[in-house]
Structure 1
Amino acid sequence: MTEPVAAVADRWFQPESAPDAGTRIFLLHYAGSGASIYHDWPPLIPADVSSQCVQLPGRQERLGEEKFTDVRPLVDTLADCFAAELDGRPYAVFGHCMGALVGYRLAVELHERGERPPVLLGASAWAPKGFRTPPPEQLQVPQSELVDWARGLGSLPESILDDTEALSLMMPAMRADLEVCASYRDDDAEVPCPVVTYSADRDPLVDPEAMASWIPRTRSYLGNRLFRGGHFFIHEETTSITADFVRLLRGRVAGAQPAF
């Protein structure tokens, strides 16, 4: 018997940081990780804005569930869950790397279904053009080579890289998530909301001009915030990113920006 969508959705969303807040931010994690990467966000977000992490299957408390390896069914399922979760409050979506890819396609899909889209999309360390997606053959290499590749991005702390048990839990999710990224085929779809982007000057996966590819995807591109650092600059720049994103979200909700 198929589970009701609402029951399935409960597993996809972590508890809200401020359930009584009038505005929400949904946070999408990057490849190989889980909702816990945003553990330091709630204390930095004002009480009138609620943050809520999305947890994909195949990791952390959802470790035993089947992982997605293709972006299309992932977005379709996530859109079903969002449709069941949304309650009329304005909301934003923020994602880093794979999370930004999924957030982009989620916003497009919700709009196409006639559901209420986000009022703001934050895309960090990913762009429709100029993102260096690992080729399919990269996903089939032995674990030691995949670990070396991840180490080069700075994505895994040395404490995990030296922990065989932790790696055995993380690597299947990493491979599956990279397959999701590799499965994506761009179609120039327009986003039904304003977009703000975040990038770093030494990110080996994002070409310097990549964020400009967002400009034709939205009628309201709010610009790129460039930071110093590598692909996972999000962890060093959390305070700056959260402050900027909340400011823009409040502006959208208050009607300070022109209607899309």
Structure 2
Amino acid sequence: MQIFLLHFAGGNCYSFDFLRKQMDKDMKFLPLELPGRGKRYRESLLADKPSAIKDYVAAIRRQRNKEAYLIYGHSMGATLGLSVVKELEVLGDPPIALIVSGNAGPGLKYHEGPKRYLMNDEDFLQELVKLGGVPQEFLESAELYEHFAPILRADFETLEKDEDFEAGTKIQAPIYAIMGDEEKLADRIDNWKNFTLGHFDKQVLPGNHFFIHQHAAAIAAIIKQCCMKYSSPNSIVRCSS
């Protein structure tokens, strides 16, 4: 079983290391990353959804084997994951399920006021503090900020430039949504149900937007549960009927 992981804004292929040790040995753990960060830091950043989706689809296609697979995305990775799954379904190589976290689904208003990628540095930093998950050394180091700010701004631009991109998108694959109870719009988690023709499950765990770091075992259990539940070749058809 292959598990492809799509990172949050500002993340990279190391963003899911906290989860790796919780996974079974027979699950192939495949964290992906967009250009301009991590192992791909020499590549140009992307700042629009079609380019990011194309990049993720190409990366998955390169690494696919003949086994079943699923996709898990957190925050930005959840939003992009929906369209990635749709494209892979069109290509005839669908995942058995999409797991999403830190995100109540497309079409909702997550941020009031100016778009984050257009904010001045002071307001941008304050916004990052509100989101949580930002190391203190990042907030105190001008050098770290200068390095990571362009990555974060590009990712926020990807998310905020075309907020209606996913309107009308429906995938065949089941969706399992997870959120932290302190997250904005956690009470709207059922919104994800509108984007699948398959089965929908959900779970709300204690914590803020980066609750995932406190619940690695629970998230790994959900991944294992989805692998077992939907690994049958006909499982998506059955849950869509």
TM-score of the superposed pair, with normalisation by structure 1: 0.83
**Cα RMSD after superposing both structures:** 1.9
The equivalent of 1:160 in structure 2 is: 138
Matches within 5 A, 1:140-151: 140-151=118-129
Q: CA deviation at 1:98?
A: 0.3
The equivalent of 2:98 in structure 1 is: 121
State the alpha-carbon separation in 1 of the partners of residues 25 and 61 from structure 2.
Answer: 24
State the alpha-carbon separation in 2 of the partners of residues 156 and 70 from structure 1.
Answer: 23
In structure 2, the CA distance between the partners of 1:232 and 1:184, relative to structure 1 (3 Å rule), is same
The 8 Å contact of residues 32 and 59 in structure 2, kept in 1 or not, is answered as no
State the alpha-carbon separation in 2 of the partners of residues 136 and 79 from structure 1.
Answer: 31
In structure 2, the CA distance between the partners of 1:134 and 1:235, relative to structure 1 (3 Å rule), is farther
Matches within 5 A, 1:234-249: 234-249=212-227
Alignment partner of 1:211 is 2:189: yes
The equivalent of 1:58 in structure 2 is: 36
Moved more, 167-176 or 141-150: 141-150
The 8 Å contact of residues 201 and 208 in structure 1, kept in 2 or not, is answered as yes
One-letter amino acid of the counterpart of residue 213, structure 2:
H
Unaligned runs of 5+ in 2: none
Give the paired residue count.
235
Alignment partner of 1:85 is 2:60: no
* From 179, 192, 209, the counterpart of 2:172: 192
Q: CA deviation at 1:133?
A: 4.7
Q: CA deviation at 1:256?
A: 9.3
The 8 Å contact of residues 194 and 218 in structure 1, kept in 2 or not, is answered as yes
Matches within 5 A, 1:7-86: 23-86=1-64
In structure 2, the CA distance between the partners of 1:196 and 1:180, relative to structure 1 (3 Å rule), is same
Alignment partner of 1:177 is 2:184: no
In structure 2, the CA distance between the partners of 1:70 and 1:134, relative to structure 1 (3 Å rule), is farther
Unaligned runs of 5+ in 1: 1-22
Q: Deviations over 1:122-153 (max 9, x none)?
A: 01112123351566643222223211111111
Which segments of structure 1 move beyond 6 Å, counting only runs of 4 or more?
none
In structure 2, the CA distance between the partners of 1:252 and 1:51, relative to structure 1 (3 Å rule), is same
The 8 Å contact of residues 201 and 229 in structure 1, kept in 2 or not, is answered as yes
Q: Deviations over 1:192-220 (max 9, x none)?
A: 2111000112113xx24422122132233
State the alpha-carbon separation in 1 of the partners of residues 234 and 172 from structure 2.
Answer: 17
State the alpha-carbon separation in 1 of the partners of residues 37 and 9 from structure 2.
Answer: 11
Moved more, 120-129 or 98-107: 120-129
Matches within 5 A, 1:96-115: 96-112=74-90, 114-115=91-92
